[in-house]
Amino acid sequence: MRMMVAWDDPAEAELIDTFLNVEPNECHVFTDPEELETALSTTKFDVVMLALNFPSEEAVFPLFERIRRAMPDAPVVGAWAPGEVSQVAKFIKNGLHSFISRDENGDFIFLLTSIMEAAFMSVQAQRAQIVMEKLRDEVESVRQLQEAVLPRDLPMPPGYKIVARYESSQIRVLGDRPVVMAGGDYYDVFSFDDGQVVLVLGDAAGHGVKACMSIMTMHTLISMIRDRRFPNTAEFVTEVNRRLCNSDIIGADQGGFITLLYCQLASETNLLQWTSAGHPMPIMQNLKTNEVYKLGSKEEGGLPLVIDEDWEYERCEAEIPEDTRVLLYTDGLDEAFPEHGKEEEQFGEEGIINTLKECVNLSLQETLDRLFEDSLAATGGIGRHDDTSVVLLERRATDS
């Protein structure tokens, strides 16, 4: 910490110089007004101590204003002698950070190091708070941009219901205060003119603004090419991967890969085809038997996007019988665990399956809500550390 002291008493100034010039601190003590003025124009200090009668009672306030203009970020601590208290209010009103009373014995000198450090740390904390609030506003703006691309009205093909939900991750700072982060999750549901419905989930590696920008890039790309008719879902995902690999925005070498689940539902034939790029596979539930099982295998999942430009993705397909639910989700749902918890304590695929079975007689929306509630409960109330997206669809018998 670099300190400047402007002092009126040469004897006290010498003692102050000795007392404050202790590593790691550096102190410059001035008793000559001209030397002080030169230092103001050539040197920057972290904190200033000003005797409130230096160089005189008439000249000290103009000097104080020049110090404030020259070093607006440096807190100024005033030192006043008995009888000068009437001056203090004027200085405080114009930006004096704090002040100390000078006693005749000079005992106040032993407090100067603590006072100067406290003033410096106080200002640093204020600046950090301002920066934190600005960053919070920036993150909130990005988060709102991300949520703006999520679909508001989901298409409902004949015989089907679809519900979806997204929640950002949370971190906790300053005790239990939660901070909602910008995230790297994304889902979309849209339909083609022929009645086919597309369901998309994406999850960018990492958290925060960088992950959000990666997922927004993928969303923009999918929006650009989604009207082109590809032979199947594998061809579509392969094209998305190729284009992202040739983009300068996302780089796998910087941890910028994305998982993607791209599904197409033909409601006339009840055939669901999908392709996974490193993404969790769909889970199907038979509402008649309450049997729940995963569709596809890990080997059919393929690599996440932006890792291998030439990777050829696989197409999977399954028929959706009557009275069946299909769950699509990002790993924030199953990888919810308590603070300092172990992997086996996470909500996991087992937790998802148990919740689906328990909700077999609940509505689709109630089931979606329970999945989020049970996943959150698995964290012990601290909040999921990862973004979470869920799309849940249901086909009922025509007479139900």
Using one digit for the tens of pLDDT, what is the confidence trace for 73-119? 999 999 988 766 667 788 888 999 988 888 888 888 888 989 999 99
- For residue 393, give the H/E element and its range: strand 388-395
Contacts of 37 (CB under 8 A, 6+ apart): 66
Give CA–CA dist 153/85, Å, rounded: 68
Report residue 276 as tokens. 């996974």
Which strands, in side-by-side order, build the sheet including 2-6? 26-30, 2-6, 47-51, 76-80, 98-101
Report residue 375 as tokens. 């996943």
Contact between residue 213 and residue 245 where contact means Cβ atoms under 8 Å apart = no
Residue 175 confidence (pLDDT): 45
Residue 355 confidence (pLDDT): 97
Q: Is-cis flag, bond preceding 62, omega within 30? A: no
400 residues of the chain, pLDDT tens digit each? 999 999 999 999 999 999 899 889 999 999 999 999 999 989 999 999 999 889 998 999 999 999 999 999 999 999 988 766 667 788 888 999 988 888 888 888 888 989 999 999 998 888 888 877 776 676 666 666 667 777 888 989 999 999 999 988 765 544 445 555 556 788 999 998 888 999 999 998 866 667 777 777 888 888 888 777 788 999 999 999 998 888 766 655 555 689 999 999 998 899 999 999 999 999 999 999 999 999 988 778 889 999 999 999 999 999 999 999 999 999 999 988 887 666 667 899 999 999 999 999 999 999 999 999 999 998 887 777 788 999 999 998 875 5
Identify the CA nearest to 142 among candidates 184, 95, 86. 184
Where are the CATH 3.40.50.2300 domain residues in the chain? 2-127
Identify the CA nearest to 94 among candidates 121, 64, 123, 70. 64
Identify the CA nearest to 162 among candidates 388, 375, 358, 394. 394
Where are the CATH 3.60.40.10 domain residues in the chain? 149-395
Residue 235 confidence (pLDDT): 94
Identify the CA nearest to 237 among candidates 166, 159, 300. 300
Q: Name residue, tokens 């999850």.
A: 203
Kindly list the distances between the CA atom of residue 77 and the CA atoms of 17, 228, 289, 381, in Å, as whole numbers in the listed order.
16, 69, 77, 45
Tell me: the pLDDT tens digits for 310-355? 999 999 999 999 999 999 999 999 988 887 666 667 899 999 999 9
Q: What is the DSSP letter of 109?
A: G
Residue 281 sits at φ, ψ, to 5 deg, of -75, 155
Give CA–CA dist 198/183, Å, rounded: 22
CATH of 2-127, one of 3.40.50.2300, 3.20.20.70, 3.30.930.10, 3.40.462.10: 3.40.50.2300
First to last CA, the chain: 75
Residue 205 confidence (pLDDT): 81
Contacts of 284 (CB under 8 A, 6+ apart): 292, 293, 294, 295, 318, 320, 324, 325, 326, 327
Q: What is the DSSP letter of 123?
A: H
Contact between residue 384 and residue 169 where contact means Cβ atoms under 8 Å apart = yes
**Residue-wise over 173-203: b if at least 16 C-beta within 10 A, else e?**
eeeeeebebbbbbbbbbbeeeeebbbbbbbb
Q: Which fold has domain 149-395?
A: Phosphatase 2c; domain 1 (3.60.40)
Helices (H), the chain: 10-20, 33-42, 60-70, 85-93, 112-148, 208-225, 233-245, 348-358, 364-377
